[in-house]
Chain A
């Protein structure tokens, strides 16, 4: 079938790659951009390990075509911090021991940023509710919730619901 050129703004940089129509956003990021921090856990829209921000809103990159994201801004875990300089939410995850094996962590952090951006990070019940689409098989939810709530209370700026695309 016809290949197409997909141009995205990933972590502030222009990425442009020729891909198949069926190429998923998560494969575009991992295989074409070399950004393997976004994980594929289940490939069935359930686990949330592939969560990235698409124009500022959390989506599951295994259930979005790269072509659907054409022209959009994408933020992955690589775009928010580095090993030398963690993002404050990553610092909070470390402080609260909010990870064990770490496989779900990139998705948890990106979803946590989305929750806080929507102004729901201060309420532990709301955080739990909005983590419904992210699975942690090490059963670490309690500490994940605590990390997100602490980050929300320590000065993250909620910006309300993003405008529709």
Chain B
């Protein structure tokens, strides 16, 4: 077999309790959702699990519910399902547009929102929406507010064996998202999510730094006047931003400034 991965056992439980037991019972166990982030990681041998627990048969992780105040998306909902859901497009148009633009169609047919969040690649899209909308990540153990979920590069507040069940997004239609993706990989070099709340503005920046973050000076600019021109004088500092062969930190800082204005313009259309 020409696989570059270290071999592992595979299990596909059909009940949540069984999945939790499998994940708790073996130190090398890891949850598998769509696999669009995890399988590439396994190929690079950056992770060497001894057991993969496939979550695809768990009904507790499925379903989309659009309630009066909240949109609840099951963790195993694939990007293509979010992208084509008419109720989400009506309730949260920016989230719908984001899902339509994740990677490419083949990845959207497999990848899931829960997997994207648990993996927390700095170039992923969903973390910006979760932080920018002040969503809540619901696990089998607790409810984690977005502000406490993303801790660093590939690091979240999830404990070993803890499973994301769903994500609850407050219904704020007036949101916008703009990303500058790497043209080959599709990963985000710099992106911005902007949401106008009844009592202020939330801004989340992804791709530019090791961890998605709130952009507080942009929030202050937009709280005074919610329009792209309010950001004209803003210069995001380059300190702490990622620098690699795709973009320097200073270039990423400039991309963030542009993405912020475009995301704000998009929010005004909703």
Q: Which residues of B contact A138 (CB under 8 A)?
A: none
Q: Which residues of B contact A130 (CB under 8 A)?
A: 104-105
* Alpha-carbon gap, A51 to B105, bound state (A): 11
User: Which residue in B39, B50, B77, B80 is a CB contact (below 8 Å) of A1?
Assistant: B50
Report whether A22 and B8 are in contact in the complex, using a CB–CB cutoff of 8 Å.
yes
Report whether B109 and A58 are in contact in the complex, using a CB–CB cutoff of 8 Å.
yes
Interface size on B, residues (CB 8 A): 38
* Alpha-carbon gap, A4 to B105, bound state (A): 29
Report whether B186 and A20 are in contact in the complex, using a CB–CB cutoff of 8 Å.
no
Q: Taking A20-B1, A20-B3 as contacts, is the C-beta distance between A4 and B10 under 8 angstroms? A: yes
User: Which residue in A1, A59, A63, A111 is a CB contact (below 8 Å) of B40?
Assistant: A63
Interface check B56, CB cutoff 8 A: yes
Report whether B80 and A57 are in contact in the complex, using a CB–CB cutoff of 8 Å.
yes
* Alpha-carbon gap, A100 to B145, bound state (A): 52
Binary contact track A63-106/B, C-beta < 8 Å → 1, others 0: 11101101000000000000000000000000000000000000
A69 CB, nearest partner CB in chain B, Å: 10
Tally of A-B residue pairs with Cβ under 8 A? 99
Q: Taking A67-B10, A130-B105 as contacts, is the C-beta distance between A23 and B1 under 8 angstroms? A: yes
Bin the interface of chain A by size: 35 or more
Report whether A27 and B1 are in contact in the complex, using a CB–CB cutoff of 8 Å.
yes
Report whether A21 and B8 are in contact in the complex, using a CB–CB cutoff of 8 Å.
yes
Report whether B106 and A22 are in contact in the complex, using a CB–CB cutoff of 8 Å.
no
* Alpha-carbon gap, A27 to B78, bound state (A): 24
Report whether B35 and A64 are in contact in the complex, using a CB–CB cutoff of 8 Å.
yes
B70 CB, nearest partner CB in chain A, Å: 21
Among residues of B, the one whose C-beta sits closest to the C-beta of A107 is B106
* Alpha-carbon gap, A133 to B107, bound state (A): 8
Jot down 17 A-B pairs with beta carbons below 8 A, ordered by A.
Answer: A21-B10, A23-B1, A23-B3, A27-B1, A45-B36, A46-B185, A48-B106, A54-B109, A60-B107, A63-B35, A63-B107, A64-B39, A67-B54, A111-B105, A133-B107, A161-B84, A164-B77
Please list the residues of chain B having a beta carbon within 8 angstroms of any beta carbon in chain A: 1-10, 12, 32, 35-36, 39-40, 42-43, 50, 52, 54, 56, 62, 77-78, 80-81, 84, 103-107, 109-110, 184-186
